[in-house]
Structure 1
């Protein structure tokens, strides 16, 4: 899947021109989603509990509990992947405008196939960080195994991204924090030569997203 359009970065990364405000002006959340994000962050814990229960039940039916060690491994790796993918800041940008440490932290937990897509898309995120001074952190609320066998697994993960950006310069410089933006992903993993790696991930839509006329990508992509 496309990294920048489906979940690696927010809509503002996929379209930096529309989400980067001139100096001195507050950045606007695209498509008027500020109020929706604020509402979602209040209910995301409850929604996560429901989703985890549903997907855990499916895992039980699919025999996922027959792989207890593997379940722990894939949930741990999924959490690592999301945190690495959703953690970057201007101090990671080098003289060439790239974020080598960010690239490396993500590549360590993904397959070569996924890495090829990641390498094509990451420059967009680097441009936004370098030009807009964007800092992002990721919190993972819960993970649950949807399905698992000897060499593949699917994990549901829910959490929130929190962004901030620098405004002004010199003595007037300040950091502006954005509202946390909830996310829900299904993460596909494969085991290659005994090692679990992330092979893909997909946003998961919610009823509130559909009520607003948004599809899976719009409603769930950070």
Structure 2
């Protein structure tokens, strides 16, 4: 009888350990998926903000607009933007550019190891000294991002067809 009772205790312990292991595995899976979802949401929001900032840049607010773009950028994209900032402000002022923009949709192409690629579709309007009536514009951009100290920053941006 003792042997039978010991066998049942061992079996119960084995089942309990298996259930604990399964629960731990499920918890880790859930936690990883939750983090991936949060990363995707944060990367998408950062990409959208940078695109709206870029397509909505205007001569009247170009200083603040460029500062905001630089704040959301890193790597070569940030360096290139900083190098071109003065010329960009001059061209915006010379052409009296006023622009607006909004994101229509986004989609994550890649998300892994602190890097993301997001496609952004946006619309906007542009007026300048040649086009006094707002001209509608449609944009499609590929935005590469890296996570840096808890923030998603744009490391590359290109217009795509």
> For the pair shown, which has the larger CA radius of gyration, 1 or 2?
2
TM-score (normalizing by structure 2): 0.71
Hey, what's the Cα distance between the residues in 2 that align with 1:137 and 1:124?
Answer: 20
CA RMSD of aligned residues (A): 2.2
TM-score (normalizing by structure 1): 0.53
Q: CA deviation at 1:134?
A: 1.0
Secondary structure, aligned partner of 2:46: helix
Higher RCO structure (Cα 8 Å, ≥6 apart) = 1
Query: Which residue of the other structure, out of 105, 111, 135, is the alignment partner of 1:148?
Result: 111
Q: CA deviation at 1:87?
A: 1.9
Q: CA deviation at 1:75?
A: 0.8
Hey, what's the Cα distance between the residues in 2 that align with 1:157 and 1:90?
Answer: 24
Query: Which residue of the other structure, out of 115, 119, 144, is the alignment partner of 2:82?
Result: 119
The number of aligned residues is 129
Q: Encode CA deviations 1:6-43: one digit per residue, 9 max, x unaligned.
A: xxxxxxxxxxxxxxxxxxxxxxxxxxxxxxxxxxxxxx
Q: Encode CA deviations 1:103-139: one digit per residue, 9 max, x unaligned.
A: 2111111114321100122333312221121101112
The 4+ residue runs of structure 1 with deviation greater than 3 A are none
Judging by fraction of residues, say which structure has more strand: 2
Q: Which runs of 5+ in 2 are unaligned?
A: 1-32
2:149 equivalent to 1:186: no
Judging by fraction of residues, say which structure has more helix: 2
Hey, what's the Cα distance between the residues in 2 that align with 1:179 and 1:84?
Answer: 18
